[in-house]
Each structure stands twice: as C-alpha cells, then as structure tokens.
Chain A
Amino acid sequence: MEIVGQLQKQFVDFTTSLYREGILDGQFVELQKLQDESTPDFVCELVSEYFQDSEKILTNLTTALQQQVVNFKVVDDHVHQFKGSSSSMGALRVRNMCIAFKSLCEEKNLDGCLRCLQQLKHEFYLVKNKWETLFRLERQILEAGGAVPFVDYRFY
C-alpha cells in the first residue's frame, strides 16, 4: 500500500506541474471527466490519435514550407487544424504556438514560419513526452493495485 501511496503522490505532483507550467490546461480535465468505467481508455486513445494526427500535420507543414513557392494559405490550413486539435486536447503551449504561427502565415513571413515550425515541433514533442510519462505513471499505479487520483487543477 505504501508503494501505491508513493506512486499516487508522484502522479499528482507530476500532473500538477503540467498545469502549473502551462503545458496542459483545463480542457484536459474536461477530457478526463468524459472517461468512465465503460470507456477506461478514452483519454489514452484520444491522446494516441492526437499524436498520430499531429505527426502527419507536422510532416505536411515541413513539406509545404519547403516548396519553391510557398502557399501560405495551405500552411495556414494545416496550422489551423493543429491549433484546433491541440485546443481540444488541452495542449495549451502547442495551441499558443499555432496562434503565433498563424500570424506569421498572414504576414507571409517565411523565415518566421520556419523558425516557428521548429518551436512548434519542440512544444509538441514536449507535451508528447509528458503525456507518455503521465500514462506510464497511471499504469504503474493500476499495476500496483491502486486507483489513479483525479487531479482537477483548473485556472479560472
């Protein structure tokens, strides 16, 4: 039981840090509220879909920005998709980076876009890493026979 307690504390501390650092926002809490006994893997599966979808978008963005003549409308469309899904997932920093990216598209600022893409990739892989850690901690708690604490840490 002590192991479970330690793991649970680790989980709570880690999750709280994600909200504090603005990596995740209250929308992630909303997603967890949707998960129930009949769909215990809802969040994990949705995050997985988000990862796959995002990788495709990042590839598309890289390609779009490598064209001889860059079509900023196409770039903006991809960023818009990424902003939407990131917002729905609660990936706050990724979403905010998309907002900055959209402005650069509007300005048709190629250098700015290229730099922003790098930052966007950084933020995405960061949240991906954090989520993977989060789900690993969850699994450890469950395997040790404990329940995963619900961390409702929302900023208003």
Chain B
Amino acid sequence: MVSTCDSDFANLNKGNVEEEPHVLAVDDNLVDRKLVEKLLKNSSCKVTTAENGLRALEYLGLLDGKKSSMNNNALKVNMIITDYCMPEMNGYELLKKIKESSLMKDVPVVIMSSENVPTRINKCLEEGAQMFMLKPLKCSDVKKLRCHLMQCRG
C-alpha cells in the first residue's frame, strides 16, 4: 500500500521543489512509517510512504516487467529514506535497484536501522547511500537530513 499526503504548503507554494522536497519513505513497520512521515512533514516535506521495497519500486516505475518508459512519480521524488531490515527485499537490495536505474541513480537514498552494525553501514555507503541513520528517529535527525538534502541540490 502506498499513500501520498500533501503538506499544507503545497497549495501556497505551487510545487516549488526548493521549499518542499518530495520524500519516499519505505518501512515495513507501521509505527515507524507513521513516525518518519510525521518527522518529514514537520520539516516541510511532501511524503509518500511504502510498506516494502516492491511497493517502493512499483511507485517509482522501476519494477521489472512493469517498466513504464515515463513515470511521473520517479521524477517528483527528491529523496528516498528506507529501513534496512525488511522481509523479502531489504533496504540494501532496494538501494541497489535504485542505483542501477539510470532515472533514479542520482536521487539520495538514506538507510535507517535500529542496529548499529558497522559492516552493514559501510556496505550501504559503498553502494551509494547518502547517509545512515540510527533508529529510533528523533526531531534532530530529520533536521540534519533536511540540511543535507538542501546542500545536495545546492
């Protein structure tokens, strides 16, 4: 299930990308999904959530065999934040799929995990993840993310 919630700013600021980045947040845990969504919306981001890697790829138009040559969703997304531990397709595997896509490879991907495993962190960073964040997420974490995101596009 994928849901999109527009922040109130959308109507005032007619899709000004600089002001409100569109973030795709992927997490199989319902509570964590709601939390990351709120954190991002409080930081003036538009948020779309996905409950697993497949749904995320589907949203981005990157699912093999279902590839659409032009997917508006992929073009709108400014950042992807994903949990690492997910069944069937974990965050690292999702990261790889995104980096393999010519359309999405330059979109920053942030990996979240409740476990501080250096080998896991390094593996993700080497594969091109922008940042690794430790759960549970706090208000200050998302602020850092936002600054980082603005700098990336600077």
Residues of A with Cβ closer than 8 Å to B?
27, 30-31, 33-34, 36, 38-39, 42, 46, 49-50, 53, 77, 80-81, 83-85, 87-90
Given contacts A27-B138, A30-B138, A38-B8, contact A85 B39 (CB under 8 A): no
Q: A34-B39, A46-B34 are in contact. Are A81 and B114 (CB under 8 A)?
A: no
Indicate whether A31 sits within 8 Å of B85 (C-beta atoms), given known contacts A81-B29, A87-B136, A88-B135.
no
User: Across the interface, which residues of A come within 8 angstroms of B32, CB to CB?
Assistant: 84-85, 88
Q: Which residues of B contact A (CB under 8 A)?
A: 8, 28-32, 34-35, 38-39, 42, 85, 87, 114, 135-139
Give the complex CA separation of A83 and B138 in angstroms.
17
Contact B136 A49 (CB under 8 A): no
The number of inter-chain residue pairs (CB within 8 angstroms) is 53
What are the nearest 7 A-B pairs in CB distance? A85-B31, A88-B136, A30-B138, A87-B136, A84-B29, A34-B38, A27-B136
A46 to B136, CA, bound (A): 14
Residue of A nearest to B30 (CB): A53
